[in-house]
Amino acid sequence: MNLQELNNIDFNNAGSLPLPVKAGMLAVILAMLVFAGYWFFWSPAMEELDQARAKETELRDTFLSKKRQAINLEAYKQQMVEIERTFGALVKQLPDRSQMDGLLTDINQVGLERGLEFELFKPGQEVIADFYAEMPISIKVTGNYHDLGAFAGDIARLPRIVTLNDIVISSPGKDSKDGRLVIEAVARTYRYLDANEIASKKQAEKKAAKQ
């Protein structure tokens, strides 16, 4: 059948059409139905199925995570108790503002009891952190090697947290023959902020965030 014969087909009398033409028409109609079904029904259904599978995987992972947490719940509780106990012990090592003067006196007294000579003992500007303040103290002391070492050990054994940083050891002078040394360092100690200081800090942060 050529193109001219196709153009002369009478579709109103489709029953009398040749068999090849009927087969071709049926194939076209079937293809159109399949395409329409895929486009309007199967494609959205397959997309929903993929989303459901992804959600199922997410829920399964969440379930397994929660299950592991439930299994280890008692261990987590014990860890929290231990963390709170440790944190509480550390906080007790932080003096409040009213105790800072006493702590500074203790640091100075430790050096004097070791026979050290303080050439400099100068508290610096406090640095405010989340719930505590750090105070640097510039110190310069003179003494013999053993007394200076004992002084560092005494600082470490204080009931409050005090660290020695930026340590520089030198000789008092070229003519010094008594074995004495000079230590320059920054002692850092810490105190916790009281409720008013924390409230003021949060208020200042909120004000700064709005600017």
Domain span including residue 37: 1-71
Phi, psi (5° rounding) for residue 98? -70, -20
Dist CA 61 CA 67 (whole Å): 10
* pLDDT score for 140: 92
> Are 107 and 180 found together in one domain?
yes
Instruction: Verify that 101 and 182 share a domain, yes or no.
Output: yes
pLDDT of residue 133: 82
Q: Is residue 153 part of a domain?
A: yes
The conformation of residue 97, written as its DSSP 8-state character, comes to G
Q: What is the pLDDT of residue 89?
A: 60
Same domain as 150, residue 185: yes
What pLDDT score was predicted for residue 3?
45
Per-residue pLDDT, 60:
84
Alpha helices in 72-144 (DSSP H): 73-92, 100-113
Q: How confident is the model at residue 1, as a pLDDT?
A: 47
Q: Please list the rounded mean pLDDT of every run of 10 residues in the chain (211 residues).
A: 49 58 69 70 70 82 79 74 65 64 84 88 84 86 88 85 87 68 88 76 77 70
Same domain, 116 and 150: yes
Does 202 map to a domain? no
Do 110 and 48 lie in one domain? The reply is no
Does residue 91 sit within a domain? no
pLDDT at 2: 44
Q: What is the CATH number of the domain that holds 180?
A: 3.30.70.60
Task: Determine, yes or no, domain membership for 19.
Answer: yes
- Which among 116, 177, 110, 107 has a CA at the least distance from the CA of 148? 116
- State how many domains the chain has: 2
Q: Tell me whether residue 108 is in a domain.
A: yes
Q: Locate tokens 């486009």: which residue?
A: 39
Identify the three-state secondary structure at position 9.
coil
